[in-house]
Structures are given as C-alpha cells and as structure tokens.
Amino acid sequence: MNEAAILLTLAGVHFVALMSPGPDFALVVQNATKYGRQTGLYIALGLSFGILTQSLLSITGISYLVHDHPLLFAILQFAGGSYLLYLGYGALKAIITKLVRRDTNQQTSTKSSVVLNNKRQAFSKGFATNILNPKALVFFVSLMSTLVPASMPASGKALAVLILWSLSLFWFAFLAWTLSTERLQKRLTTMGTYIDTLCGIIFTAIGIYILHESLLPIFH
C-alpha cells in the first residue's frame, strides 16, 4: 500500500470513528445546544487538540508504552473514568436541580453567561475529555500501529497527524455550528432537559465502565 492509500484509509477510518456516539460527540452536543455556538466551537477546538496530542503520542510510540504498561494504563483508566463520571454527575445533578426549582429559563441564562465568557474553560473541558479517555488512547495506538508503517518517512507521519487533527476540528466545529443555528436552537430549547439527561447518562455509563475496567485487575 503506497503512502497516499495509507493516508486515505487513515482519514476514512478516523472520520467514521469521529461520527460514532461517544464522550466527545456527547460533549459537543450538550454544550452547543445548551450554551451556544461560541462555547461549542471552543469545546470542538479543545477536543481536536486532545486528538492532536493523542496522535503525536501514538505515532512516537509513547502511547504504546503506556498501553503496554498495566499500572500506567490502569492509572489512566481510573483518571479518565473518574473525569467522565464527574461530567455525568454534573449533568444529572443540574437536571435534578432544574426539576426541583422549576426555574429552567433563569438558570440556563445564568449558566450561559458564565460559560460563554470563559473560552479557556470550554477549551480545557474539550481537551480533558479526549485526552483522559483511555478508549481514545487504545484507538489511536491501534490505528497508528496498524495503518502507519514504521518505514513511512517523517513527512508522511506528520501529514497523517495533520489529517487526523484537521478532520477532528472540521467535524466537531461543523457539529457545534449546526447545532447552534437559530432555527435549530429554537427546536432544541424545548429538548434541552432530554439532551442533558441523555448526555449525563452517556458520561456516567462510560465512566463507570472505564472505572470498572481499571479496578478489575485488583480484584483478580
């Protein structure tokens, strides 16, 4: 397989993975629909830089060493699972608070002004969600080790990383932009509680699963 075919295959596999529902996808949907375009775009930027970091660590072999070292990988799993569980807890707690207070409009307005004025927080949230996801580490280790041969020149590897980053930024920014259009925002406003609940369940379920995986060796 020549270099062009390798890069096209890499791009195709990665783009399909990007569109699959998961923590990254759920984070963009939750924040773009709830807080608007600016927050959604900074979440997308943070996620793309998380993927850039994952790609660099994988192509240089650092991620492989972490994946191949049980203790380091277990620590990453525990940290990632805990963070996703924290996101899930926060989302579900906010829903319960809304239902108890019956003051959704006022609460949403207050939260939006806080998040929209803090671009760094939105970027950091996106970056942390991706970089702390051990499933992402496993995916990129598998992707790079399977599709990118060690004999590929440095220019080809650099182009591979650039493709993964640019596709990630394009997809998540497109998703954030689409979900925050005026017409769609009007429709999604009435579904805000359901979207937050679904995203909270996704974060919680994946977080619990990853924590279970990290603690499993201790009990065996």
Predicted local distance difference test score (pLDDT) of residue 74: 83
Low-confidence ranges of the chain (pLDDT < 50): 104, 107-116
Which pTM value belongs to this model? Answer: 0.80
The tokens describing 158, both together, are 């650099």
Predicted local distance difference test score (pLDDT) of residue 28: 93
Name the residue range of residue 31's domain.
3-219
Predicted local distance difference test score (pLDDT) of residue 94: 78
Q: How far apart are CA 11 and CA 5, in angstroms?
A: 10
Asked if 163 and 4 count as a contact pair (C-beta separation under 8 A), the reply is: no
Tell me the per-residue pLDDT of 55-103, one tens digit each, with 9 for 90 and over: 999 888 877 787 778 888 888 888 888 988 888 888 888 778 777 775 5
On the 0-12 / 13-18 / 19+ scale of CB atoms within 10 A, 43 is: buried
Name the domain count of the chain.
Answer: 1
| Torsion-angle region of 181 (φ positive above 0: left; ψ -120 to 50: alpha; else: beta) | beta
